[in-house]
Structure formats: structure tokens, C-alpha cells
């Protein structure tokens, strides 16, 4: 479904993604593991195309120079230069680490706004799915988004991404800052999303909460691939265990 080959991303002369190749097959849940500044967000922004917008913005205001190289194929089509809005239409949807929500609008309104490009019948169905996956959001449907807890806002961000009808859902550190209980909820929700036929690429700094959910994973350091394998191979690797699972 997704094949990234020899991706390189530079911010000025600093290299953030270094000759990285990854692939994701339809129906898989794949992890990108990496510590702070490993390049996780940059990779997600490269795949979602957000980096193209950032690059344009920077060059308009004479800011830092962003260079993107390599190949990114989605369903066999080269998309490395495709605009992010177009990629969303193709089904590539990013749920950001801290997605901006409309703080003055309630949960239900936020979800409706997220579906503005789609027919209302479809949006209704998508919102029902979001409430099935995150029952807590249904309970809070009339609460202003600005009043939600951090964890609840994180669920809402993922809900917003789901309304956009993804075929490939990109999640950037969704477990960050969640209590163990919420992490378990989110792990279950991630599995449920996968069962809907949605392919998932998920970044995380700590492997433990996502291990039960993923099929495969890549470990990156300084933008470079250092290890890849199935869940079992990751679990069996002593360096990964001590570096990313704390065991
Ligand atoms: N807009 C930017 N301008 C300049 N350098 C950047 C920019 N965004 C990221 N970088 C650099 O690229 C490298 C990778 O950063 P990135 O945010 O992708 O890491 P990360 O793995 O998401 O880290 P974290 O776990 O802290 O979120 C870092 O060295 C960072 O300083
Ligand atoms: Mg990040």
C-alpha cells in the first residue's frame, strides 16, 4: 500500500531523515519506534505531505530551507510531490500528536467540521463509528473541546482523523502522556480501527503500550533505520527490549 524508498529530509543542512526505506501492506498495523528527535514527526509529515506545505511557507517567508528527496509510492502511484489535501482525498490521513481542535465547539461539532468535505449521511456514519470506537467521546459529545482533558483531546484528534475516512491512518505518538488505563483503551481502539480495514502507521517513543497491537515495526535513530522486524522479532531483540521497552 505504501512504499517509501530512500527518503531524505533536510532542514537547511541538517539531516532529519537519512536514506530511509519503509513499506506498509494493506491491513497492517506498523510501528515506527524512535527516541526524541529520531525523525518520527518528520517522517509522518513527509508521508502526509504536510512537509510540502511547511516547505512552501518557509520559502515564502525566507525561512529555513527544507529539502525532500526519495520516492513515496501509495497504491503504486508516486506521491512525493502530491499536495497534502490531495493525499487526504486519496485516503492518507494524519492524526497529529496534538491536533488543533476547535476549543469553543463541542465534541460532536468538531467531528462534524472534520467531515465538511463529505456528504452528511457519510459523516453521520463516520461519527457513529468514532463513538463506537471511543465510547468516552459519545458521553462527552456536548462538552466544549477546550474543556476536555489531554487524553480525551487525543481521542478526539484520532476521531477527527477517522471522520476523514482514512485508508491509511498515520498516528504520531498517540500514546504520549496517557495514563496506563487510557493507553490500554487506546490500544484496544487502535485494534478496532484496524478491524475496520484501515491500515495504520503509528509512531511511538516507548514500545510497550503498542506492542500488543502491531504486526511489524521499524526502529529509527537520527533519521536512519537501525532495526526492522515483526512484533516477535522486536520483542526478542535484547537491545530493543532495553532501549524501547525498559526491560
Ligand atoms: N521545522 C524544523 N526546522 C528545523 N529542524 C527541524 C524541524 N522539524 C524537525 N527538525 C529537526 O529534525 C530532527 C527530527 O525531528 P522530529 O520532530 O521529526 O523528531 P521526533 O522523532 O518526532 O521527536 P519527538 O519524539 O521529540 O517528537 C530533529 O533534529 C529536529 O530538530
Ligand atoms: Mg515528534
Q: How many CB atoms lie within 10 A of CB 105?
A: 15
Instruction: Provide the pLDDT for residue 189.
Output: 92
86 shares its domain with 185: yes
For the cut 70, the answer to whether the pLDDT of residue 157 exceeds it is yes
Q: How many domains in the chain?
A: 2
Half-sphere exposure of 208 (CA within 13 A, CB side): 14
Residue that terminates a domain, selected from 164, 183, 211:
164
Phi, psi of 83 (to 5 degrees): -65, 150
- Cβ(172) – ligand 1 distance below 6 Å: no
How much is the pTM? 0.94
Tell me which DSSP letter residue 178 carries.
-
Instruction: Provide the pLDDT for residue 97.
Output: 64
* Within a domain: 136: yes
CATH, residue 210: 3.40.50.300
Q: Position of cell 497491537? A: 213
- Cβ(39) – ligand 1 distance below 6 Å: yes
Reported in sequence order, the residue ranges of 60-177 that DSSP labels E, i.e. its strands, are 66-74, 77-78, 92-95, 168-172
Determine which helix (DSSP H) or strand (DSSP E) holds 19, and give its type and residue range.
Answer: strand 14-24
Instruction: Provide the pLDDT for residue 241.
Output: 87
Mutate to test the pocket of ligand 1, among 16, 46, 48, 244 (most ligand atoms within 8 A of CB): 16
pLDDT tens sequence across 58-109: 999 999 999 999 999 999 999 999 999 999 999 999 997 666 678 899 999 9
User: Quick one: pLDDT band at residue 242, thresholds 50, 70, 90?
Assistant: confident
Residue that terminates a domain, selected from 148, 164, 180:
164
- Cβ(245) – ligand 1 distance below 6 Å: no
Q: Is 239 helix (H, G, I), strand (E, B) or coil?
A: helix
31 shares its domain with 125: no
182 shares its domain with 246: yes
181 shares its domain with 238: yes
219 Cα to the center of ligand 1, angstroms = 16
159 shares its domain with 172: no
- Domain assignment of residue 107, given as a range: 101-164
Taking the mean position of all CA atoms in its chain, how far away is CA 239? 25
Pairing of strands 66-74, 2-11: antiparallel
Nearest to 201 by CA among 184, 181, 177, 220: 220
User: Quick one: pLDDT band at residue 177, thresholds 50, 70, 90?
Assistant: confident
Instruction: Provide the pLDDT for residue 98.
Output: 62
109 shares its domain with 228: no
Amino acid at each position: 500500500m505504501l512504499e517509501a524508498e530512500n527518503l531524505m529530509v533536510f532542514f537547511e543542512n541538517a539531516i532529519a531523515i537519512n536514506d530511509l526505506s519503509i513499506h506498509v501492506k494493506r491491513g497492517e498495523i506498523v510501528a515506527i519506534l524512535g527516541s526524541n528527535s529520531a525523525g518520527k514527526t518528520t517522517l509522518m509529515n513527509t508521508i502526509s505531505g504536510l512537509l510540502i506545505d511547511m516547505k512552501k511557507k518557509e520559502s515564502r517567508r525566507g525561512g529555513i530551507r527544507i529539502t525532500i528527496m526519495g520516492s513515496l509510492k501509495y497504491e503504486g502511484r508516486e506521491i512525493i510531490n502530491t499536495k497534502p489535501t490531495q493525499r487526504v482525498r486519496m485516503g492518507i490521513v494524519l492524526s497529529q500528536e496534538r491536533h488543533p481542535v476547535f476549543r469553543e465547539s463541542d465534541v460532536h461539532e468538531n467531528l462534524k467540521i472534520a467531515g465538511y468535505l463529505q456528504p452528511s449521511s457519510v459523516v453521520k456514519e463516520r461519527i457513529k463509528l468514532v463513538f463506537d470506537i471511543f465510547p468516552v467521546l459519545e458521553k462527552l459529545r456536548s462538552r466544549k473541546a477546550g474543556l476536555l482533558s489531554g487524553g480525551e483531546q487525543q481521542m478526539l484528534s484520532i476521531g477527527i482523523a477517522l471522520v476523514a475516512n482514512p485508508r491509511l491512518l498515520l498516528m504520531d505518538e498517540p500514546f504520549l502522556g496517557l495514563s496506563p488505563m487510557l493507553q490500554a483503551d487506546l490500544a484496544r481502539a487502535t485494534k478496532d480501527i484496524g478491524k475496520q480495514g484501515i491500515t495504520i502507521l503509528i509512531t511511538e517513543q516507548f514500545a510497550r503500550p503498542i506492542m500488543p497491537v502491531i504486526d511489524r515495526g521499524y526502529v529509527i535513530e537520527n533519521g536512519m533505520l537501525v532495526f526492522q522486524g515483526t512484533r516477535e522479532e522486536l520483542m526478542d531483540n535484547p537491545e530493543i527490549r532495553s532501549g524501547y521497552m525498559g526491560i
